[in-house]
Each structure stands twice: as structure tokens, then as C-alpha cells.
Amino acid sequence: MTFHERKVQFDREYKPIEVALLTFHGVPGFDVYNCSIPFFWEGSQYIYGRIERRSEWSRSWVRLFARTGQDDYTLVPDSMIYQLEDPFISVINKELILGGTHVRFSGGKVETVYSYFYRGKNLEDMLYFTTGPENMKDVRVVQLKDGVGVFSRPRSADVEKQYGSASVVGFVKLRDIGEMTAGRIASAPVIPDMFADGEWGGCNQCYLLDSGLIGIIGHKSYTHYSLQNGKQAVYTNVSFVYDPASNRIVDEKIIATRSSYPQGPAKIPELKDCAFTSGIVMRPDGRADLYSGLSDTIEGRTVIEYPFTGFGNIITVGE
């Protein structure tokens, strides 16, 4: 069964437990989407959101929002503004790590992209500390018991020629977050067989499991052509379980698609079937709230069963 066939079957069989769209206040005229997961810091809950006008491309900022109700967030006044896309957060050794994609222009056109990283304990004064390799989005970090894990995401014509898939994912272990440089990220050994020919994807949020495995909430994507809808970029929410000892994926499944969330607008018709994963937040009932950007305009939430059943429970170290 192809991944597209699996996706169609999932859409046919999925029965939502609970779904919602997030509402953002304080940024009139802007869409907010492709957010970080909600996170608690010093007693309050926040989320970083990508904001962009509907009519513009690659002209995004990342802003901090505070939770003001169920699925309701309000801009934190005078908070730092980051010239980034698609923010993500992790906690490493009691510090918050904020990352996102920085787009570099030349002559009015996108020249390349980088992942930028900030660290700190004060949300009002995060410190930029490193940049990832050129033309690499979706670099992610995870706290390990004895160091820091870094997932890379090379994507290029050379990658596609060598591996068949449009992108691959690599993993490297560091002793400390201070060792994370573009060179170390680029040197990460590739994890084999994550994507088939014509697919691409990456890690969006990573979680250490008590089994020593790493649970990954990510995205898997491909281009689909149909007589009815024409060319569509299809992005799905997926989960992986990664075994760092053998450098292989031991479990992978679809956990949601665009149709798993409430309906909403698309930035362009080609993005109607896009769900760009943010990550999960565990619930008291043992299920998980899964967050995702939707069609480059909005952020959604759906409740799913725990995605790593049989492979360990999420643990936190270094917080």
C-alpha cells in the first residue's frame, strides 16, 4: 500500500474525539499558523506563532502569545519579534530553546533558508546562539539522559538523487547544547528508509521515552495530482519511534491529516490538504492534544490516542 493509499484509508476511517481551531488576539490583519506547541514557563502557558498576512509569502514573524482561554491566545505586548517561520520549542538543561526558519532574500527572491536558535530562561531576553546548515529547515533537539539529541533534515537535488526521497533525516548526539553548530548538524548520520521516492518530511517535536527510544511527532509529505483538485501538496501528521542504538525507525503511522481538523481557508488552492505538524501535549486522561498548522492560514487541535503505545512513556529530564 502506498503512503497516499494509507492516507486515503486513514481519512475514511478516522473518527475525531475532539477538534478545535485556535483563536489569536492582538495581531489584526495577520494569520497565525505553524505554531510551536503550547508550553508552561514560570507558571503561565504560552505559544509561539508564525504570523503573516494572507497575501504575502516568506514575510513572516514569530510572536509570543499567552493562553487566555481554552484554545484562545493573546499577544504578549512588547515581546520579542523574531524574523522567522515555523517556531518550535524544547527545554534543554532547564533552558528554553526556541528555533525557527530564517529566510534569506537576494534581489527580492528567496536565496536560501537556515534554522536559527535562541536560548534562555527569560522569555523577554532570549539569546541567539547558533545557526543550522544552509538550506536546512526542521532541525530539532531533544533532551537525553546523557546529552542532547539533534535531528537534521537535509533536502536538495543531491539528496533526492542519492536517496530517492526529497528529504532525509539524520541524528547526532551531543554532550551539550553548546556543541550544536552547523557542522555538527550537517554531519548527522542519515536514518535509513524514513521516506519513499517522491516523499519528504521531517521531525517537528521530539520526546525521550523511558525505554530509551525517542518518540517523534513529525510530518510526511508528497505531491498528489487529481482530475478534481489538480496539483496538491499533501502534508500529514505522523509519529515515528526512533531507536538511537540501531539508527532506525521502529514504528511509523499517520496520526492526523488536514481533514482531521475543522474546515478553514487555504493560502492558495494547492495547500488545501496541508497539515504542518506542531507537536503533542499530553492530557490528564492519557490521550494527547495534537496541534498543527493548517493550509498556511490557521492552527488546529485534535485529540488523539497516545501515539507511542508499546514503545515507552514520555519522560522529562533536564527541566
Q: Is residue 189 part of a domain?
A: yes
Identity at 196, one-letter amino acid code: A
**Distance of CA 305 to CAs 6, 17, 213, Å?**
18, 9, 19
CATH of the domain at 157: 2.115.10.20
Q: Is residue 312 part of a domain?
A: no
Q: What count of Cα atoms within 13 Å lies in the side-chain half-sphere of residue 298?
A: 17
Q: Is residue 159 part of a domain?
A: yes
What digits encode the pLDDT tens for the residues 82-101? 999 999 999 999 999 999 99
More confident residue, 183 or 316: 183
Please state the domain count of the chain. Answer: 1
User: Cell 511509523 identifies what position?
Assistant: 252
Q: Is residue 319 part of a domain?
A: no
Residues 123, 128, 132, 135, CA torsion sign: positive
Q: Is residue 47 part of a domain?
A: yes
CA atoms of 7 and 242, how far apart (whole Å): 22
Q: Is residue 294 part of a domain?
A: yes
What digits encode the pLDDT tens for the residues 180-227? 999 999 999 999 999 999 999 999 999 999 999 999 999 999 999 876
Residue 1 confidence (pLDDT) above 70: yes
Q: Is residue 318 part of a domain?
A: no
Residue 319 confidence (pLDDT) above 70: no
- For 207, the grid coordinates are 520526546
Which residues touch 319 (CB under 8 Å, ≥6 apart)? 91, 94, 143
> Which domain covers residue 157, as residue numbers?
3-304
Query: What's the confidence (pLDDT) of residue 47?
Result: 98
Q: Is residue 217 part of a domain?
A: yes
Residue 161 confidence (pLDDT) above 80: yes
CA atoms of 317 and 296, how far apart (whole Å): 33
